[in-house]
Amino acid sequence: MYEKYWQQMGDKTTVVIPGWQYMSYFSDISNICWFLEPEFAKQVVRLHKVVGNAVTDGRHIVVGTGSSQLYLAALFALSPSDASEPISVVSQAPYYSSYPSMTDCLKSGLYKWAGEAQNFSKEGPYIELVTSPNNPDGTARHSVVNRNKGILLHDLAYYWPQYTPISSPADHELMLFTVSKSTGHAGMRIGWAIVKDKEVAKRMTKFVELNTIGVSKDSQIRAAKVLKAVSDPYEHVDDSEVGETFFDFSYHSMAERWKLLREAVEHSGMFSLPKFPPAFCTFFNQVSEPRPAFAWLKCENDIEDCETFLRGHKILTRGGKHFGVGPMYVRVSMLDRDENFIRFVKRLSTIRV
């Protein structure tokens, strides 16, 4: 969906890397995260300052091959290494469908998926995943277990102004971000963690070292260039050529798509969507409603399996059971290219009982 924006930016984000550059494993041996490219780290900090969505002062940054790698690195770093049984990993349903499978795929002795956080009553330590705004339903989330001995992991992949009002700079122990959702460059496979605790940052770095001996420098350099192109207009660098800013473009695109989707849902009468309370956004300096990256659609009229029902109407979605809830819900991506999105809302609006 953001492809159009980056096409308009032309050569602003073109990167040329000669064959002799970025050959070493190492980027900055004085940093805990020794494979973190300094220019990438600089642009991450700068973008968070421009947007005001996360505290970075006095924090450690760990880069990963997508935030997916950092999710596993975080589980490794947060799990007690001397426990007699794996620590429980929980999240409030509906939760991101990859968490259970990523957590249990290697049957680790360190951590184990324990499902829905709201039913979790086991004594002792646990890791709670807090995804805010949430994938799949777009809601603002806080921890729900609320016991001591809980370790929180915040996945803030969607805490960007095109998706949700920015209320304040997030300031949690461990926060995950990714270019996949911020600028749309999922294929670059770059994510970053902002970490308060030095030992946790060291262990996460160790995980990435054992897993992939660092993170592609080519990708970090490219990511730095893209983040720089997002921040520059807000700091009036290169004023001569400022077109539409990235967050203006992405905000307006999301707002337009949500308007079209709500119209289609109303026209059909077969579905419902969550309602989101408006809130003040410190980035845009105005009150607005959330515009999530996914639509959490509910089939009404006693349709029990919404995914199968929609597949029959040539609409591909992911059913509720993948997210820890019932089959009357499905998740639909709001981030496809224009032509596919328009085709989707057209098909949806004409579905009748």
Query: What are the residues binding ligand PMP (CB under 6 A)?
Result: 66-68, 96, 131, 135, 155, 157, 178, 180, 186, 191
What would the two tokens of residue 241 be? 């050529």
Cα 60 from Cα 283, distance rounded (Å):
24
310: CB partners within 8 A, 6+ apart: 299, 316, 317, 330
Please tell me the number of Cα atoms within 13 Å of 294 on its side-chain side. 27
Interatomic CA distance for residues 136 and 153, integer angstroms: 17
Q: By Cβ distance, which residue is nearest to ligand PMP?
A: 66
- CB 125 within 8 Å of CB 95: no
Tell the smallest beta-carbon distance from residue 188 to ligand PMP (Å).
9
Residue whose CB is less far from ligand PMP, 182 or 253? 182
Q: Which one, 68 or 268, has the nearer CB to ligand PMP?
A: 68
- Nearer CB in complex with ligand PMP: 131/250: 131
| Residue (48 or 351) nearer to ligand PMP, CB | 48
Taking the complex as a whole, the smallest distance from the CB of residue 179 to ligand PMP amounts, in Å, to: 7
Q: How far is the CB of 215 from ligand PMP (least distance, A)?
A: 12
Q: How far is the CB of 294 from ligand PMP (least distance, A)?
A: 8
For 265, phi then psi, to 5°, come to -65, -40
Shortest Å, Cβ 192 to ligand PMP: 9
Query: Smaller CB distance to ligand PMP: residue 204 or 264?
Result: 204
Who contacts 6 (Cβ-Cβ below 8 Å, separation ≥6)?
Answer: 13, 183, 184, 226
* Cα 281 to Cα 284: distance, rounded to the nearest angstrom: 6
* Contact in structure between 110 and 79 (CB atoms under 8 Å): yes
Question: Measured between alpha carbons, how far is 36 from 62 in angstroms, rounded to an integer?
Answer: 7
Minimum gap (Å) between residue 350 Cβ and ligand PMP: 29
In the complex with ligand PMP, which residue's Cβ is closer, 67 or 139? 67
Q: What is the DSSP letter of 262?
A: H
